[in-house]
Amino acid sequence: MNRNVIPKSVMERIPIYLHYLSSLSNENVEYISATKIANELKLGEVLVRKDLALLSGKGKPKIGYEKNELELHLKNVLDTSNVTNAIIIGAGKLGQALLYYEGFEEYGIRITCAFDSDHNKIDYQKIYNINDLDDYCIDNNIKIGIITVGEKSAQEVCNLLVSNGINKIWNFSPIQLSVPSYVNVKNENLAAGLAVLSMK
């Protein structure tokens, strides 16, 4: 029996917990209860308790969890200690928004640069020519590729990433990418997400 498998649903809540815990850091909180976390984040109380039981050490009845220890445990699961390097392909508005967004560092991810085929977008600091991709990936230990190009070039870009040994892909294009089975694709179809909201 494998005790190490953490369900996907739980995984997705780890960053939420971490963000909440880090927001407490200047309040000098020593203990935090699952009840409190559940209320603040509007999650079920038992849900949070089960998550914490799975992810962390024991809590103390009537008191809760030692906050710093809990934070450490969650970070260990997320493995935020060693930074994961990511690159963006497609330096349009969205690509740049992600490139300059600072919230990723908190979770141990560094978006090192973006690539684009359009010469006008090259800025030598952060946006490089797509032709330099191969060398860059080899030299910089890139683990994640973020696709923010249009749907027409998305598959092509995806192939390029895969051929450079990148097997984690965050796909913002609205198409279904074809990849070898060992490659992990997370689709982020923003328009579709908004459409669902609009119709509720």
Residues forming beta bridges with residue 85, ordered by sequence position: 110, 142
Q: Which listed range, 16-24, 41-49, 157-165, 175-183, lies at the site for DNA (CB under 7 A)?
A: 41-49
Please return the burial class of 88, using the count of CB atoms within 10 Å of its CB with bins 0-12, 13-18 and 19+: buried
DSSP 82: S
Give the angle 94-10-85 at the CA atoms, nearest 5°: 40
Q: How far apart are CA 67 and CA 18, in angstroms?
A: 11
- By CB under 8 A, residue 157 contacts a copy of itself: no
Contact 20, 39 (CB under 8 A): no
- By CB under 7 A, residue 58 contacts DNA: yes
DSSP 124: S
The item of DNA, a copy of itself, none sharing an interface with residue 61, based on CB under 5 to 8 Å by kind, is DNA
Share of the chain residues as helix, strand and coil, in percent rounded to the nearest 5: 50, 20, 30
CB atoms within 10 A of CB 113: 19
Q: Which of 3, 58, 93, 119 binds a copy of itself (CB under 8 A)?
A: 93
Q: Which of 47, 94, 126, 164 binds a copy of itself (CB under 8 A)?
A: 94
- By CB under 7 A, residue 47 contacts DNA: yes
The item of a copy of itself, DNA, none sharing an interface with residue 199, based on CB under 5 to 8 Å by kind, is a copy of itself
Residue 52 Cβ, how far from DNA at the closest point, in Å? 6
- By CB under 8 A, residue 47 contacts a copy of itself: no
Task: Count Cα neighbours of 170 within 13 Å in the Cβ-side half-sphere.
Answer: 17
Q: Which of 7, 16, 44, 53 binds a copy of itself (CB under 8 A)?
A: 16
Q: Which of 22, 23, 25, 35 binds DNA (CB under 7 A)?
A: 35
Supply φ then ψ for residue 144, to 5 degrees: -125, 135
Q: Which of 20, 41, 49, 104 binds DNA (CB under 7 A)?
A: 49
Supply φ then ψ for residue 28, to 5 degrees: 55, 45
Q: Which residues bind a copy of itself (CB under 8 A)?
A: 8, 11-12, 14-16, 19, 23, 40-42, 77-80, 84, 86, 92-94, 96-98, 100-101, 103-104, 106-109, 143-144, 146, 168, 170, 174-176, 184, 186, 188-200
Q: Which residues bind DNA (CB under 7 A)?
A: 7-10, 33-36, 43-47, 49-50, 52-53, 58-65
